Chain A
């Protein structure tokens, strides 16, 4: 049963520290998404990649957030420096896109981030 994995599952850090979240997409999927979920804003798309190339990161605060895919098995989301308002659950999802049609997104369990 293929699944998206995310590490760490929980992270508590202090304001100003760097936070790195990792995601392993399902093997064979060519699209990776990063979402953030808070009570106030709901699920927000931060960025997504197709075939490891960033397609859209307009949802990310550019000055502090960065997303990369070093290889097909790893996606990273970094926050530097972190701020209390970044506290949220960060989800990674992967899927397969063909001919412009996005197939089902499979979500990971999320990383719960608390910035003090």
Chain B
């Protein structure tokens, strides 16, 4: 099964940029990399998805190096409301793509 590895937790302060890196050494050619955010008592919510290089939307940026064995979610100028658990998924179809890891618990302090 494709496995992702992320830091268990991270701390930051309001206004700072936060970068969360995920390693996925077994990524396959057809796999996409997707990040989700989950707040307490809610279901995960899509943040961003990419295949290679860089993707940016209104919420975050996703950096993927050429070998695609890792990816970095970048949250610019975090606020208290960004405190959540962030999951990295490798999605290429099938069960192996639908395994959420333990996620990274981000705590943003004032």
Chain A contact residues, CB within 8 Å of chain B: 4, 33, 35, 42-45, 48, 56, 58-59, 91, 93, 97, 100-102, 104-110
Q: Does B42 contact A (CB under 8 A)?
A: yes
A-B pairs, 3 with minimum CB distance: A107-B43, A43-B100, A104-B46
Give A110 to B40 CA distance when docked, in angstroms: 11
Which of B36, B44, B92, B95 is close to A56, meaning CB atoms less than 8 Å apart? B95
| Chain B contact residues: helix, strand, loop or mixed | loop
CB atoms of A91 and B95 under 8 A apart: no
Q: Total contacts A to B, CB within 8 angstroms?
A: 56
Chain B contact residues, CB within 8 Å of chain A: 30, 32, 34, 36, 41-46, 49, 87, 91-95, 97-103
A87 to chain B, nearest CB (A): 15
Which of B36, B43, B103 is close to A110, meaning CB atoms less than 8 Å apart? B43
CB atoms of A100 and B93 under 8 A apart: yes
Q: Collect the chain B residues with CB atoms within 8 Å of residue A56's CB.
A: 94-95
CB atoms of B98 and A33 under 8 A apart: yes
Q: Collect the chain B residues with CB atoms within 8 Å of residue A93's CB.
A: 43-44
Give A97 to B93 CA distance when docked, in angstroms: 8
Q: Collect the chain A residues with CB atoms within 8 Å of residue B103's CB.
A: 42
B91 to chain A, nearest CB (A): 5
